[in-house]
Structure formats: structure tokens, C-alpha cells
């Protein structure tokens, strides 16, 4: 029977990675000395399944490594050991290490063995240390002395007492398979024990009543045997005893359901175990640089290959397709014998079809959308690590985590965000002493916020740190010859310098940031996605980096408007209202800037035909319609000739083959195949203001040809 093991391995890796994420978030919530049983149990369970799966799928290194982690966790779970900060940090490092090992397994490459061995010996050291403070400690110590067996030591003969619980077979575990594996380890003989066999009438057909006493002759370790039983540990009585021992003294392990982990784990408390298990150090790691590079490349390839979709989304999709089928069959019935009196029904049917199609399209698009928490989740851990590193106190605040964005955008925004957060941690937030001296709270706050605005997703990274010193930047820029001496730059331009390649304001270079590479890459990456990044900062109060990204692939609810022969689309979200112009509400400042009095507000009027240099039906305000729009906090009235339909449009990028155009956020293809441009309301307001403020600037821009 050919089973594609690769498939299972992939699933195992995926599940394990999820388990690791789970472990990580729980570990971060765990305070030293806490007794949060739920959290510890979750962490333990995740480690346990990673270990078990690792053994099954032949990732011996993963299962061995996790075993040590599990042992420690088990002691904590049983209250034999206090949760110390050291342990938490070590576990977090183990999570990283396991991630690396899994990635290596995925790419069939080698993980960094030095690191694994190093971490493992640290874990072993912790295990061996007298960290336990509970009364159980003594018992453990005694037990440890009693069974100082080394699971790695090879013994030539083993006795195995194996008695499955009645329901073991129901979980899909097959004794025959396990015995076959044991046979591979050496000469294997088993005797069946019928003692518990009930009378035929009392027998459950799916239950197991047998037990086995087996002997195994061959060079193998306790670990190897236990690996075979790893899935059934909790569902059987298992006792493995070495009868002949090579080298050390007699080993005995009694693994039963109630003390499964406890006893087994004590084997690691001997120093011998430490030395043997760190053996892999000896293996040479060839050209680590190439290897790592290779790894990252391949990993990025694997990332985009699959997507996890909420089952609800799939269900709604199925519902919708069902409805579509019903509508289709209804319509085809009309087609068979059509009579004119059915026209009305046909129209209804077509309307329904349209609705179904639209909903279907929405749902399909929604599948690609994942909440931004996927990108945010890595930050608590990062902040935790960076706090330790810099000796800073930072509280992370996340909001808008459920804001959805396209998966491809999400994958590409991760690294720039990490960079911005690191920068905020390193340069932004000060050390507690400095903060207190500046009259700020001891603990800094880093706020990550995401929300939708128009056709964009906006991600804000704000800190309440030192802020950006504009003068210092200017000085540095002049030093580097980026700016001429004595030049006066507006603040925004100065902040813009931060994104220049090779520019850094850090007084000292740390390994986190300050080398000046990065911010330019951040901006480049964001721009590659068609987004922008802005900085706002107040010296001494903090800085905010605002990343705006388009929701590519997203659909937009748009209002079609007509100006002359041209059709434009205004995103419905940015429209406040539409109204007819009453002459008495129009005021002009200096005969030029027109304002419209709407209730108690004065809105600038933007004549779209003027902003876009096209010819309208009429230049008179009264003949047109005023669409009141809002973009980036500014309101304005757009003068158009007519309002057309409202419809959903698929955003197509202008940048793919052309470039970004001020005032436009993209284009779309209408039902008749023609292209219509989508207005970027904030951009239109900017364009018209620019036209206004410096009239000859815009003339120049128009005059540039060829």
C-alpha cells in the first residue's frame, strides 16, 4: 500500500508550527511563579504532540529535543518545580529552536546543530539543578537515584510488559504494527496473557483484553523502545525492564498512565544523559552561511502555497453556490417555454442571479482575506525579548487585530512592520530611568493599531518615547552631504530623510538597529505594495509611523459619477452625502476659492473638471451635483455633472504597467469592458489644493512634455 508520507509530514509540520505558536503565546502570558494550570497544560500538550509526531514521522532530533522540554514541563505541571523566568526564557528559546528544526525538516536541510545541542544541555542543566522547591522534590530525588538509567545506553536484552487498556484499539493503534517495529530492533518474542479475557457473552467486539510479556534481544536503547509506544503511553500499562545491562547498572522504567512522564523523565537527570544526548555536536555543519540563506529562500516559497480558511467562510461559500444553482435552474425553466407574461419573473430571476453572483464574489474574495493578527502575533514575543535585551519596560497594546487584509499583502508587510517596531523599541522608547527623569511613566507604551480607511488598510505604530529630533537629522544629513548647508526644510521633508539609504541617527549601532539599512528598505517594500509610510513625531512625546496599504484584489463599493464624457468612481465609503447646489450657500474667497456652506460647515468646492482638466457638460454650479466627500480627515465638495449607478468594482492597479497618478487610487473595468478610473478622495483634495496654492507649479507640471 503506497501512502504518501510526505503529505502527512507536511501536515505534521503545519500542526506543530501551530502548536508552537500556541506554546509561545501561553509562555508569554506566564509570569514567574504563577500557577496557571490551563496555560501549563496547553503548553505541555503542544510539546507532547510535537514529540509524538516527531517520533512517528522519523524526526528523531525533534522528538528527542522536545522530550527534554516536555520533561521539564511535566515537573512544572506536577508542581515539582517552580516557574522561573529562566525556565520561561529557556522554553521560548526552545520554541524558536523547534521552529528552526521544523523548517529544516520541511526543506530537508540541516538545522543548526550547535544551537540545538547548546540549548539542550542548558535544559538538561536546569533539569539536573535543584530547581524544585515543592515537597515532592525529595521523592523525585529518591526516584532519580533509584533509576539512574540512561535512556541512550544500549542494552542487549529487554523485558516488556505491555497491557493495553480495553479502548486502545479504538484510537487506531495497532498492536501488530508496534510489534513489527519491535522486531526490527532485534530478536523479539512475545507471550500473550489471556488472564483478563472475559466470557464470550461479556466481550465487547472492539475492546482489547489481552496483555503481552515480551522479550527483546538486540542492541537498542530504552528510548528507541519507548518511541514505538509513544502514541499509546496513556492508554496502556507499559513496563520496560532491561534484563542484561552493558556498562551501567540496571535500568528500570515503569511507565503507567498516572505517572507516565514523571518516572520516564528522571532518566535525564543523570549527567550521563547530558553527555550522550549532546553527541550531535560532533557532526560538522558545512557552510552555515549558504545553508541559512538557502533555508530562508525556500521557506518563503512554501509560505504562499497554502492558506488556512475559517470553516465558516467555506460554509457560506457552499450556501451561496447552492443558491446560485437554484437560481440557475429557475432561469433555465423560463428559457424552455417562454411567454411574454413571464417577463416580470425573468427580471426578478436575473436580479437574484446578480445578487448571488455578487455575494459569491464577495465570499471568494473574503477567503483570501486574513485578520492582521497573523502579522501582529509575533510582536508580543519580540517585545518581550527586546525588553530583556535593552533593559526597557514596554507595554504592548494591540488594537484592530481583526482587520482583514489580503494574504499576499500580509506576507509582505510582516518584515517592514518588524523593522518599524524594532526601531520604536530601540530609538523611540527610552530606558526606565530616562523616562522617569522626563516625568513619564516608568513603562513605555507601544501601540499597534490597524483599521480600514477607504480602500486602504492603515497600520499605525506609535510609541510614547523620545520622538524624532528633527534638528539632529538635519545636522546628520548636512554632514553626509544629503542636504546643502543652511537649507531650510519643512518638518515632513526632514522626516523623509529617515528613509534615505544609509541614513541613521542612532548614536550607537546596536545589533537591532542603527546601521541605517532598513528604513529605506521598509519604504521600498511598502511602496512595492502600492502603499505609503508617513511619520509624525513630537519631540519628547513620541512618534507615530503610519503605513497605508491598498487592499489589492479587494472589491470596492463605488458610486459612478459622470463629468462630461468621462466616468469616474468614487469609493462609497468616502462619500458623506450628495446634494444639489443652492447658489445662496456658495461663497468665494478672493473670487477664487469657492466654499459651500453646508449646515454649519464650510466645505471647499472642487470642480472635478478643473482638477482633471477635462470638459464638463456645464461649468455652472447649479447644473451639477455636489458630492460631499471625506478623505484623511478633510471634507470637500466634488462638483460632478451627474450621478450614475452604484456598483461594486474590482480594483485594478494602474501601477502594474503605468505609475501612480495623484488623485487616482486605481482603475476598474466596467460591464462594457471599458476602463473607469477610481478617485482617491484625499489625493484629489491634495491635487486641487496644490493647484490652488501654487498656480504656476501646476502649469509647469502640465507643460512638461516629452
Q: Which residues bind another protein (CB under 8 A)?
A: 492, 496, 566, 611-614, 652-654, 656-664, 667, 669, 673-677, 686-687, 701-702, 704-706
How far apart CA 501 and CA 699 sit, in angstroms, is: 32
Q: Which residue, 479, 659, 454, is CA-closest to 557?
A: 454
Q: What are phi and psi of 512, to 5 degrees?
A: -90, -45
* Smallest distance, another protein to C-beta of residue 646, A: 20
Check if the beta carbon of residue 101 is closer than 8 Å to that of residue 61.
yes
C-alpha atoms less than 13 angstroms from C-alpha of 332 in its C-beta half-sphere: 6
* Smallest distance, another protein to C-beta of residue 610, A: 10
Check if the beta carbon of residue 192 is closer than 8 Å to that of residue 212.
yes
Beta pairing partners, 241: 159, 252
* Smallest distance, another protein to C-beta of residue 664, A: 7
How far apart CA 436 and CA 433 sit, in angstroms, is: 5
Check if the beta carbon of residue 543 is closer than 8 Å to that of residue 537.
yes
Q: Count the Cβ atoms, other than its own, within 10 Å of residue 565.
A: 10
- 685 contact partners, CB below 8 Å, separation of at least 6: 604, 606, 631, 632, 634, 636
CB nearer to another protein: give 486 or 673.
673
Q: Rg for the chain (alpha carbons), in Å? A: 34
* Smallest distance, another protein to C-beta of residue 670, A: 9
Q: Where are the beta strands (DSSP E) in 222-272?
A: 236-244, 252-255
Check if the beta carbon of residue 651 is closer than 8 Å to that of residue 637.
no
CB nearer to another protein: give 162 or 612.
612
How far apart CA 140 and CA 159 sit, in angstroms, is: 24
List helix spans (H) across 304-338.
Answer: 311-336
CB nearer to another protein: give 192 or 669.
669
Q: Count the Cβ atoms, other than its own, within 10 Å of residue 223.
A: 20
Beta pairing partners, 367: none
CB nearer to another protein: give 53 or 683.
683
What angle, rounded to 10 degrees, do the helices at 113-128 and 85-107 form? Answer: 150
Q: What are phi and psi of 192, to 5 degrees?
A: -85, 140
* Smallest distance, another protein to C-beta of residue 301, A: 19
CB nearer to another protein: give 325 or 701.
701
CB nearer to another protein: give 191 or 656.
656
* Smallest distance, another protein to C-beta of residue 686, A: 7
User: Which whole-number Å values give the CA distances from 287 to 264, 284, 617, in the listed order?
Assistant: 37, 9, 71
How far apart CA 462 and CA 545 sit, in angstroms, is: 6
- The catalytic residues are 48, 70, 423
What angle, rounded to 10 degrees, do the helices at 407-423 and 519-528 form? Answer: 160
* Smallest distance, another protein to C-beta of residue 679, A: 10
* Smallest distance, another protein to C-beta of residue 704, A: 7
CB nearer to another protein: give 192 or 492.
492
How far apart CA 115 and CA 112 sit, in angstroms, is: 6
Hey, what's the cell of 592? 477664487
CB nearer to another protein: give 421 or 533.
533
DSSP H or E stretch at residue 635 = strand 634-640
User: Which whole-number Å values give the CA distances from 167 to 239, 256, 588, in the listed order?
Assistant: 19, 15, 86
List helix spans (H) across 585-680.
Answer: 608-612
* Smallest distance, another protein to C-beta of residue 536, A: 12
* Smallest distance, another protein to C-beta of residue 369, A: 21
CB nearer to another protein: give 84 or 653.
653
Q: Strand 575-580 to strand 211-221: parallel, antiparallel, or no bridges (unpaired)?
A: unpaired
Q: Strand 601-607 to strand 634-640: parallel, antiparallel, or no bridges (unpaired)?
A: parallel
| Residue 283 DSSP one-character state | S
Check if the beta carbon of residue 505 is closer than 8 Å to that of residue 473.
yes
CB nearer to another protein: give 150 or 680.
680
- Secondary structure (DSSP) of 52-100: HHHHHTT-HHHHHHHHHHHHHHHHHHTTSS---HHHHHHHHHHHHHHHH
* Smallest distance, another protein to C-beta of residue 706, A: 6
Intra-chain end-to-end CA distance of the chain, in Å: 69
CB nearer to another protein: give 450 or 654.
654
Q: Write down the residue that cell numbers 535544559 correspond to.
A: 123
CB nearer to another protein: give 435 or 523.
523
* Smallest distance, another protein to C-beta of residue 169, A: 56
Amino acid at each position: 500500500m503506497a501512502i504518501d508520507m510526505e503529505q502527512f509530514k507536511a501536515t505534521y509540520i503545519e500542526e506543530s508550527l501551530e502548536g508552537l505558536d500556541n506554546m509561545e503565546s501561553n509562555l508569554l502570558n506566564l509570569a514567574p511563579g504563577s500557577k496557571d494550570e490551563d496555560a501549563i497544560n496547553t503548553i505541555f500538550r503542544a510539546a507532547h504532540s510535537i514529540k509524538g509526531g516527531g517520533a512517528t514521522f522519523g524526526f528523531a532530533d525533534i522528538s528527542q529535543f522536545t522530550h527534554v522540554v516536555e520533561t521539564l514541563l511535566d515537573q512544572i505541571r506536577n508542581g515539582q518545580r517552580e516557574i522561573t523566568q529562566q525556565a520561561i526564557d529557556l522554553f521560548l528559546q526552545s520554541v524558536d529552536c523547534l521552529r528552526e528544526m521544523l523548517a529544516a525538516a520541511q526543506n530537508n536541510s540541516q538545522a543548526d546543530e550547535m544551537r540545538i545541542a547548546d540549548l539542550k544541555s542548558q535544559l538538561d542543566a536546569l533539569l539536573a539543578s535543584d530547581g524544585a522547591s515543592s515537597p515532592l522534590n525529595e521523592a523525585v530525588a529518591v526516584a532519580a537515584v533509584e533509576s539512574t538509567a540512561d535512556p541512550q545506553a544500549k542494552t542487549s536484552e529487554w523485558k516488556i510488559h505491555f497491557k493495553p487498556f480495553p479502548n486502545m484499539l479504538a484510537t487506531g493503534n495497532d498492536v501488530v504494527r508496534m510489534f513489527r517495529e519491535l522486531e526490527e530492533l532485534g530478536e523479539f518474542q512475545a507471550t500473550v496473557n489471556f488472564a483478563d479475557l472475559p466470557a464470550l457473552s461479556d466481550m465487547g467486539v472492539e475492546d482489547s483484553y489481552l496483555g503481552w510479556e515480551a522479550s527483546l534481544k538486540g542492541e537498542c536503547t530504552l528510548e528507541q523502545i519507548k518511541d514505538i509506544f509513544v502514541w499509546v503511553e496513556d492508554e496502556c500499562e507499559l513496563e520496560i525492564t532491561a534484563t542484561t545491562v552493558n556498562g551501567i547498572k540496571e535500568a528500570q522504567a515503569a511507565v503507567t498512565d498516572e505517572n507516565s512522564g514523571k518516572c520516564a523523565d528522571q532518566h535525564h537527570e543523570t549527567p550521563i544523559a547530558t553527555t550522550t544526548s549532546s553527541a550531535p555536536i560532533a557532526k560538522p555543519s558545512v557552510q552555515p552561511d549558504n545553508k541559512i540563506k538557502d533555508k530562508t529562500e525556500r521557506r518563503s516559497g512554501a509560505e504562499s502555497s497554502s492558506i488556512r480558511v475559517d470553516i465558516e467562510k467555506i460554509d457560506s461559500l457552499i450556501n451561496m453556490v447552492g443558491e446560485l444553482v437554484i437560481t440557475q435552474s429557475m432561469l433555465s425553466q423560463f428559457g424552455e417555454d417562454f411567454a411574454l407574461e413571464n417577463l416580470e419573473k425573468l427580471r426578478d430571476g436575473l436580479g437574484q442571479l446578480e445578487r448571488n453572483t455578487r455575494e459569491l464574489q464577495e465570499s471568494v474574495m473574503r477567503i483570501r482575506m486574513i485578520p492582521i493578527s497573523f502579522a501582529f502575533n509575533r510582536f508580543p514575543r519580540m517585545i518581550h525579548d527586546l525588553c530583556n535585551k535593552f533593559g526597557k519596560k514596554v507595554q504592548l497594546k494591540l488594537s484592530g487585530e481583526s482587520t482583514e487584509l489580503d494574504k499576499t499583502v500580509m506576507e509582505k508587510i510582516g518584515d517592514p512592520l518588524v523593522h518599524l517596531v524594532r526601531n520604536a523599541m530601540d530609538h523611540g522608547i527610552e530606558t526606565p530611568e530616562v523616562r522617569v527623569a522626563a516625568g513619564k511613566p516608568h513603562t513605555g507604551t507601544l501601540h499597534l493599531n490597524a483599521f480600514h480607511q477607504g480602500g486602504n488598510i492603515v497600520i499605525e505604530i506609535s510609541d510614547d518615547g523620545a520622538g524624532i529630533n528633527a534638528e539632529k537629522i538635519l545636522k546628520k544629513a548636512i554632514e553626509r552631504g544629503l542636504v546643502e548647508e543652511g537649507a531650510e526644510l519643512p518638518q515632513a521633508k526632514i522626516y523623509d530623510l529617515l528613509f534615505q539609504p544609509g541614513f541613521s541617527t542612532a548614536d550607537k549601532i546596536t545589533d537591532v538597529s542603527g546601521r541605517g539599512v532598513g528604513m529605506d528598505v521598509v519604504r521600498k517594500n511598502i511602496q512595492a505594495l502600492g502603499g505609503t509610510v508617513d511619520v509624525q513625531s513630537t519631540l519628547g512625546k513620541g512618534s507615530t509611523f503610519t503605513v497605508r496599504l491598498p487592499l489589492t484584489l479587494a472589491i470596492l463599493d463605488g458610486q459612478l459619477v459622470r463629468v462630461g464624457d468621462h466616468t469616474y468612481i468614487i469609493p462609497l465609503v468616502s462619500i458623506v452625502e450628495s446634494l444639489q447646489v443652492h447658489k445662496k450657500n456658495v461663497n468665494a474667497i478672493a473670487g477664487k476659492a469657492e466654499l459651500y456652506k453646508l449646515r454649519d460647515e464650510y466645505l471647499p468646492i472642487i470642480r472635478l473638471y478643473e482638477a482633471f482638466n477635462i470638459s464638463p457638460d456645464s461649468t455652472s454650479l447649479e447644473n451639477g451635483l455636489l458630492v460631499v466627500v471625506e478623505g484623511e480627515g478633510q471634507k470637500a465638495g466634488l462638483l460632478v455633472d451627474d450621478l450614475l449607478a452604484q456598483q461594486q468594482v474590482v480594483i485594478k492597479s494602474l501601477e502594474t504597467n503605468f505609475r501612480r497618478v495623484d488623485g487616482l487610487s486605481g482603475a476598474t473595468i466596467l460591464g462594457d469592458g471599458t476602463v473607469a478610473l477610481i478617485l482617491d478622495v484625499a489625493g484629489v483634495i491634495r491635487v486641487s489644493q496644490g493647484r490652488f496654492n501654487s498656480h504656476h507649479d501646476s502649469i509647469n507640471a502640465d507643460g512638461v512634455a516629452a
